[in-house]
Structure 1
Amino acid sequence: MNNPRYSRNRLYVKSEEQSLIKDTKILLGGAGIGSIIAECALRFGFENITIIDGDRVELSNLNRQTYVQTDIGKNKAECLAKRLMDINPDASIVYHNSYADENNMEALIKRHEIAINALDFKSKIPFEFDEICKKYNIPVLHPYNFGWAGFLAVVKPNGIQLSQLSEEPRGFELRMAEYVSRYGEFWNIPNKWLEKVIEEYRNEDNILPPPQLSIASWITAGYCVNVMYNLITGKEIKFFPKFYLSSIFFDKS
């Protein structure tokens, strides 16, 4: 490794691969769980990251996102960009304190090689994000926080899209959790804890956001960075409808 910053990546990552990683342009749509993914990616060596998010930091974000107390009330995208630049001032970090919408998505997306869709499913914007990525042949990573489990679905441009699971954005996170639960039941690897959380969440006030833990954020971030590495180095990955899921709470009975 010529760059001492990444000297401890040796044996795991070849020098030529480290150069590929550095030059790969990543688009991060959403800086919630995306904040953890971005930091993990930067520390691994991804130095070209664009962030788009119009949200501001809230106290409830601090249990699982990379922000600190003094960030509360500030723009997430800007705070995340500053943190990343503090880690590596030589990186190219671009941020937009705005939401992804029909007016800006295509201009932002088309300049990148990999996209991370961590947008809130409050409208059809996440589906439209994927459609534009499909147009430009860009693979899309969909990270989810299932509390005790990290989850990642990777959408291939010419493959099955998440919208085929459901075209209705409201409650999409719950439908994805249900899909994972049914998948486990089908293959005789039930996740009773996940089924229990799904049932209890259904019984909550439906205006509440899904419960999430820091554990899943970090597991998912690791998945995302590993998959991005595999994508750019031509190694095998699983595409949706297959997925990545990791938790120590797997029920065998």
Structure 2
Amino acid sequence: AENVNEGSSCMSKVTDIPLILPFDFVNGAGAIVVMPDDERNMLGKPDLRLWAATYMAGYCAFWNVDGCEWLRDSLPDIKNSVTNDVALKTAAHICARIAANIAVGREVKHFPRFYLCKNLE
């Protein structure tokens, strides 16, 4: 995902495999799966991490999803590029589960749906 934020051209050439985009949201983590046929405009966002956090927080607020307050509270830190090692591990855990599910042919949520988890203790 960092290469996507930097405008890497190699990511735009990969269109026939699912992309798993992990995000460190300081107090938790998230991931968006982009399938080959999904809209990929988000990949060109100048700050994909902030865009994803704002998108997910807005989704949670609109649909009154319980347990997302930590993400809304993390937005100022995300805007200031704060990172957290525990959130990075949480993101890795989410991505490992998604990748395993893709590998065995299980259905996974993909954009505009997403995965979100408060930091694992």
- TM-score category (smaller protein): 0.7 to 0.9
| CA distance in structure 1 between the aligned counterparts of 2:43 and 2:94, rounded to whole angstroms | 24
1:132 aligned partner: 13
TM-aligned CA deviation for residue 186 of structure 1: 1.3
Written as runs of structure 1 = structure 2, the 5 A alignment for 1:224-243 is 224-243=95-114
Secondary structure at 2:3's aligned position in 1? coil
**Larger RCO, structure (CA 8 Å, separation 6 or more):** 2
1:167-193 Cα shifts (integer Å, max 9, x gaps) = 442x33212111011011011026333
Q: In 1, are the aligned partners of 2:24 and 2:88 still within 8 Å (CA)? A: yes
Rg (Cα) greater in structure: 1
2:59 aligned partner: 183
1:183-240 Cα shifts (integer Å, max 9, x gaps) = 11011026333323324655x5xxxxx1111221111111111111111111111111
Q: In 2, are the aligned partners of 1:139 and 1:154 still within 8 Å (CA)? A: yes
TM-score with structure 1 length normalisation?
Answer: 0.42
Is 1:156 aligned with 2:35? yes
Structure 2: stretches of 5+ with no match in the other structure:
none
Structure 1: stretches of 5+ with no match in the other structure:
1-116, 205-209, 249-253
Percent of pairs identical after alignment? Answer: 25
Q: In 1, are the aligned partners of 2:31 and 2:91 still within 8 Å (CA)? A: yes
| CA distance in structure 1 between the aligned counterparts of 2:2 and 2:43, rounded to whole angstroms | 17
TM-score with structure 2 length normalisation?
Answer: 0.81
Matched residue type, 1:132: K
Give the count of matched residue pairs.
Answer: 118
1:109-162 Cα shifts (integer Å, max 9, x gaps) = xxxxxxxx442613x22xx4443111xx1111101100111211111011122x
